Amino acid sequence: MIGLTTSNMNEAIRFYRMLGLAFPEPDGPYVEATTEGGLRVSLNDAVMIMSIDPTWRPPVGQGISLAFLCDVDATYVELTNAGFTGHKEPWDAFWGQRYAIVTDPDGNHVDLFAPLVN
């Protein structure tokens, strides 16, 4: 499981649904989706996290990023047109992938990738 802390549950759900995660409607400060491969991803309300651990503080910088296999160009346009922030527009990466970086509602970088087609 990967757990993400969010200060805006509804916007985080909207963002990650656009990337294919099937989050249900939240009925509290926690919501979870499971990918086709069995990976569980949870969204945790920051207020809930602080009630569990009063010393918790939002992270500074990018220590981890999630990456989604997708149609990079179309997904980048769809997300930015929906009001989410693009961090780096699509490009052909030297490691053989089409790549882009977007920012989720909490400022986390999220990578979009696909194999380059020759």
In the predicted model, is pLDDT for residue 30 greater than 90? yes
Which tens digit of pLDDT belongs to each residue from 58-111?
887 777 889 999 999 999 999 999 999 999 999 999 999 999 999 999 999 999
Give all strands (DSSP E) within 40-108, no chain letters. 40-45, 66-69, 85-92, 97-103
Residue among 110, 60, 57 nearest 80 (CA)? 110
Q: What residue ranges define each of the domains in the chain, with the CATH number in brackets?
A: 2-115 (3.10.180.10)
